[in-house]
């Protein structure tokens, strides 16, 4: 069944960085399309954020990609809006939603530069370390302040961060490592390699994602995607939230809501607009 009608919004101008992000779109679903470990966590957040006496929440997803989380929340009956800087990603999300006979508003915009007339929402979320796509602390503050202004009072924000130690995420010293391989449904194969350099002073990981495609005839094609990712530590994340007017409501180390510690696989922060 289609979910509630999402708020009416228009696509914005294509962001300047869309060309780089669009290169990722042909590979995104191969790598993450079947990932579902976090979906119950976001279903729980949406149920908690829904207004009293209403089963549905108004949900905003930042960096929604091809709509993996949006689709799950729309199936659950929530009114969803997705923002992504890549029109190619949004085209995938639109196709996935249409195939499932579901609705969501999709907007081409940077998550630190949201349109002024967007909202209000009951829940905002940023999944799978997408917060790291904001390469500076100023960008992160702009995103958090923009989201806070578009939540209703009492609304929630859920951030999913990847913990990192002082040595940085792997690979950190310029080496090239093999990260995955996938068979194409129509034939052929995709291999992924990653090279990265860690700047501990700026907490930035300068990476190149390298996708080698071999088609059914054995022909090879390489796509290289440069990115700068900024990693955020536990106490810094809390201070950023507090500085932008949020109150920390919970911090967890897994999608099962285990307490966060130095061995946790995830850093999940749930914050509330007072």
Residue 225 or residue 5, greater confidence: 225
- Cα(93)–Cα(82) distance, rounded to whole angstroms? 9
Which 3 state secondary structure label does DSSP give 91? helix
- Cα(78)–Cα(66) distance, rounded to whole angstroms? 17
Judge: domain 173-230, CATH 3.30.450.
no
Does residue 14 have a pLDDT over 70? no
- Cα(160)–Cα(133) distance, rounded to whole angstroms? 12
Number of Cα atoms under 13 Å in the Cβ half of residue 188: 16
For 54, residues 6+ apart whose C-beta sits below 8 A from its C-beta are none
**How far is Cα of residue 226 from the mean position of the Cα atoms in its chain?**
18
Q: Do domains 18-163+232-272 and 173-230 have the same CATH topology?
A: no
In the chain, which ranges are E strands?
58-62, 79-84, 105-108, 121-126, 151-161, 173-183, 189-199, 204-214, 220-230, 247-252, 267-272
Does residue 1 have a pLDDT over 80? no
Domain boundaries, the chain: 18-163+232-272, 173-230
pLDDT digits (tens, 9 = 90+) for 120-152: 999 999 999 999 999 999 999 999 999 999 999
pLDDT digits (tens, 9 = 90+) for 237-246: 999 999 999 9
Does residue 210 have a pLDDT over 80? yes
Per CATH, the number for 18-163+232-272 is: 3.40.50.150
Residue 101 CB-density burial (10 A; 0-12 exposed, 13-18 middle, 19+ buried): exposed
pLDDT digits (tens, 9 = 90+) for 54-78: 889 999 999 999 999 999 999 999 9
- Cα(93)–Cα(87) distance, rounded to whole angstroms? 10
How many Cβ atoms are within 10 Å of 134's Cβ, its own excluded?
24
Q: In what order do the strands lie in the sheet with 204-214?
A: 173-183, 189-199, 204-214, 220-230
Does residue 9 have a pLDDT over 60? no
Report yes or no: 45 and 160 within 8 Å, Cβ to Cβ.
no
Report yes or no: 131 and 100 within 8 Å, Cβ to Cβ.
no
**Which pLDDT band holds residue 18 (cuts at 50, 70, 90)?**
low
- Cα(209)–Cα(188) distance, rounded to whole angstroms? 19
- What is the share, in percent, of the chain residues with pLDDT greater than 90? 85
Does residue 15 have a pLDDT over 60? no
pLDDT at 217: 86
Residues 92, 98, 102, 103, CA torsion sign: positive
Phi, psi of 189 (to 5 degrees): -150, 150
| CA nearest to 176, candidates 243, 224, 228, 144 | 224
**Which pLDDT band holds residue 216 (cuts at 50, 70, 90)?**
confident
């Amino acid at each position: 069944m289609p979910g509630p009608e999402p708020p009416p919004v228009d696509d914005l101008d294509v962001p300047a960085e869309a060309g780089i992000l669009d290169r990722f779109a042909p590979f995104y679903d191969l790598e993450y399309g079947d990932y579902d470990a976090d979906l119950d966590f976001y279903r729980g957040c949406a149920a908690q954020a829904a207004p009293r006496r209403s089963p549905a929440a108004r949900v905003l997803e930042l960096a929604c990609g091809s709509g993996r989380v949006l689709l799950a929340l729309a199936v659950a009956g929530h009114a969803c809006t997705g923002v992504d800087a890549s029109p190619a990603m949004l085209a995938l999300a639109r196709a996935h939603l249409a195939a499932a006979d579901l609705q969501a508003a999709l907007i081409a915009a940077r998550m630190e530069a949201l349109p002024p007339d967007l909202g209000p929402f009951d829940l905002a979320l940023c999944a799978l370390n997408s917060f790291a796509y904001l390469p500076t602390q100023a960008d992160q503050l702009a995103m958090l302040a923009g989201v806070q202004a578009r939540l209703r009072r009492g609304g929630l924000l859920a951030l999913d961060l990847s913990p990192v130690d002082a040595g940085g995420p792997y690979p950190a010293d310029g080496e090239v490592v093999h990260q995955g391989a996938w068979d194409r449904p129509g034939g052929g194969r995709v291999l992924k390699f990653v090279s990265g350099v860690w700047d501990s002073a700026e907490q930035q990981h300068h990476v190149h994602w390298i996708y080698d495609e071999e088609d059914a005839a054995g022909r090879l094609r390489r796509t290289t995607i440069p990115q700068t990712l900024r990693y955020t530590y536990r106490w810094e994340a809390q201070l950023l939230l507090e500085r932008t007017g949020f109150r920390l409501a919970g911090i967890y180390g897994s999608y099962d809501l285990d307490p966060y510690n130095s061995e946790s696989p995830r850093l999940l922060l749930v914050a509330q607009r007072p």
